Amino acid sequence: MSAQAISENGAKSEFWQGVRLSMPVVVAAAPFGLLFGAIAVDNGFSVLEAFLMSAMVFGGASQMVGIELFGQHVAPWLIVLSIFAVNFRHVLYSAGIGRRIAHWPLMQQAVGYFILTDPQFAVAERKAEAGETVGFAWYMGLGLPVYVFWVIESALGAVFGKLIPDTHALGIDFLLPIYFLGLVMSFRKRPLWLPVVVASAAASIIAYKTVGSPWHVSIGAVAGVLLVVILPPHHSGVEARP
Amino acid sequence: MSTTLWIIIAGAIATYLTRIGGHLVISRFENIHPRVEAGLNAVPAAVLTTLVAPAALGAGPAEWAALIVAGLVSLRGGLMAMFLAGAAVLVLARQFVG
C-alpha cells in the first residue's frame, strides 16, 4: 500500500470517529432545528429564508433570538446586533481553538471557524487535552453531520411546523443544558476547574437577573476566565517559559 | 433584495466575525503570555457553565433530578451515557411533576 493510500485510510477513519462523537449533538440539536423552522415561519419568514438563515448563521440560540425580534418588528440593525451579542462567546472559542488548528491550510481553517459551535469547540478541546492532534478530517466528521442535520431540520420545521407535538412532555427543551453540563464535567481535570465553574455560574446568574440575556453568557464567561488570568500562574498549571 | 435577506446576510457575517475574531486577535501576538494561555484553557468550563447555570436555576425538580443524575453518570461514563441518562430521568420525572 502506498503512503498516500495509508494516510487516506487514516483520514477516513478519523472522519468516522468524529461522526460518532457528533451523534449526541445531532440528537440534542434536532428538536431545536425543527423548532427554529416552525417559529421562523410563524414570525413571517419564508421556508427558503428559514433554510438560508440556518445554512449561513448556523447558531441556534442566535437564530431564535433573531427570529423573535423579527416577529416583533424590531429595527433590522438591532436584530443583527442581537445576533452578534448572542454569538459573542465564540470570540473566546476562536481564540482557544486557534492553537489546535494552526497547522491546517488557510482554507481549511476558514471552514473550520465557520462550523465552530459550542459542542464543536468543547469536543475538539477535549481531544487536544488528551494530547491528540485535532485533524481536519476528524473535525469535519464532528461538525458536518451537525451542520447538515441542522439545515435540513430547519427546513422541515418550516414546512411541517404545525405538526410538532408537546415538546415539554418529551423533555426536549432541556436537552441542551444536560448536554452542556456533561461537557462542563468533562473538563473537570483542568487546573482551577471548580473555581472557574463557581465564578462563571455566579456571574452568569447575577448578570441574567440584572443585565439580562444574552449578555449573561459573555459576562459569566469573562468572570471565569479573568479569575484564572488574575491568579498566580502556578495555580493554573501553565509554567512561564524562558 | 428583501430586508429579511439582508438581515440574514448581516447576521451571518456578524456571526462569522465572532468565530474567527478571537483567533485573528490572538494570532497577532508571537508569544502568548502564560496567564493568557491559562485563561484560554479556562474557556470551555467558563462559557459552557453560563449555558447551564441560569437554565438550571430557573428550572424545577424534574430538571434538577436530570442534571444531578447526568452529573453523577459523567463521573464514570462517557458523554453519550451521561446524556441518555439525563434525558431518561427528565422525561420520566416530567410525567410525574410536569
With respect to residue B35, please indicate whether it lies within any of the assigned structural domains: no
Closest CA to B24 of A83, A84, A113: A113
Burial of B70 (0-12, 13-18, 19+ CB in 10 A): buried
With respect to residue B36, please indicate whether it lies within any of the assigned structural domains: no
Instruction: Check if A36 contacts B (Cβ < 8 Å).
Output: no
Band (pLDDT 50/70/90 cuts) for residue A224 is very high
Domain of B54, in residue numbers:
43-98
With respect to residue B54, please indicate whether it lies within any of the assigned structural domains: yes
Q: Residues B48, B79: one domain?
A: yes
**Residues B54, B12: Cα–Cα separation, whole Å:** 27
| Nearest CA distance, B57 vs chain A (angstrom) | 8
| Nearest CA distance, A5 vs chain B (angstrom) | 32
Return the C-alpha cell found at A113.
471557524
Q: How high is the ipTM of this complex?
A: 0.88
Q: Residues B96, B48: one domain?
A: yes
Q: What is the pLDDT of residue A2?
A: 56
Q: Which residues of A touch B12 (CB under 8 A)?
A: 53, 56-57
| Tally of domains in chain B | 2
Tell me the backbone φ, ψ of residue A117, rounded to 5 degrees: -100, 180
Tell the residue number behind the cell numbers 404545525, with chain if given. Answer: A162
pLDDT digits (tens, 9 = 90+) for A167-213: 667 776 788 788 889 889 988 988 899 999 999 999 999 999 999 87
Q: Residues B26, B47: one domain?
A: no
Band (pLDDT 50/70/90 cuts) for residue A241 is very low
Q: How many residues does chain A have?
A: 242
- Residue A175 contacts residue B82 (beta carbons within 8 Å): no
| Nearest CA distance, A2 vs chain B (angstrom) | 36
Say if the Cβ atoms of A91 and B21 lie within 8 Å. yes
Q: CA end-to-end span of chain A, whole Å?
A: 44
Question: Where would I find the H helices in chain A?
Answer: 3-42, 47-56, 60-71, 76-87, 90-101, 106-114, 118-129, 136-160, 175-186, 193-210, 215-230, 233-236
Q: Residues B52, B13: one domain?
A: no
Q: Residues B47, B86: one domain?
A: yes
Tell the residue number behind the cell numbers 494552526, with chain if given. Answer: A102
pLDDT digits (tens, 9 = 90+) for A8-65: 778 889 999 999 999 989 988 888 898 889 888 888 899 999 999 999 999 988 998 8
**Residues A120, A92: Cα–Cα separation, whole Å:** 13
Say if the Cβ atoms of A241 and B34 lie within 8 Å. yes
With respect to residue B37, please indicate whether it lies within any of the assigned structural domains: no
Instruction: Check if B41 contacts A (Cβ < 8 Å).
Output: yes
Does position A77 have pLDDT exceeding 60, yes or no?
yes
Q: Residues B49, B93: one domain?
A: yes
pLDDT digits (tens, 9 = 90+) for B21-52: 999 999 888 787 888 889 988 998 998 899 89
Tell the residue number behind the cell numbers 440534542, with chain if given. Answer: A28
Say which residues have a Cβ less than 8 Å from residue A57's Cβ, sequence separation at least 6: A63, A66, A83, B8, B11, B12, B15
With respect to residue B4, please indicate whether it lies within any of the assigned structural domains: yes
Q: Determine which of B19, B29, B90 to mutate to test the interface with A (most A C-beta atoms within 10 Å).
A: B19
Instruction: Check if B94 contacts A (Cβ < 8 Å).
Output: yes
HEC assignment per residue over chain B: CCHHHHHHHHHHHHHHHHHHHHHHHHCCCCCCCHHHHHHHHCHHHHHHHHHHHHHHHCCCHHHHHHHHHHHHHHHHCCHHHHHHHHHHHHHHHHHHHC
**Measured over all CA atoms, what is the biggest interatomic distance in chain B, rounded to whole angstroms?**
57
Q: Residues B52, B97: one domain?
A: yes
With respect to residue B24, please indicate whether it lies within any of the assigned structural domains: yes
Q: Residues B23, B48: one domain?
A: no
Average pLDDT, rounded, for chain B:
91
With respect to residue B68, please indicate whether it lies within any of the assigned structural domains: yes
Instruction: Check if A163 contacts B (Cβ < 8 Å).
Output: no
Q: Residues B5, B26: one domain?
A: yes
Q: What is the pLDDT of residue A4?
A: 61
CA angle B11, A222, A67 (to 5 degrees): 25
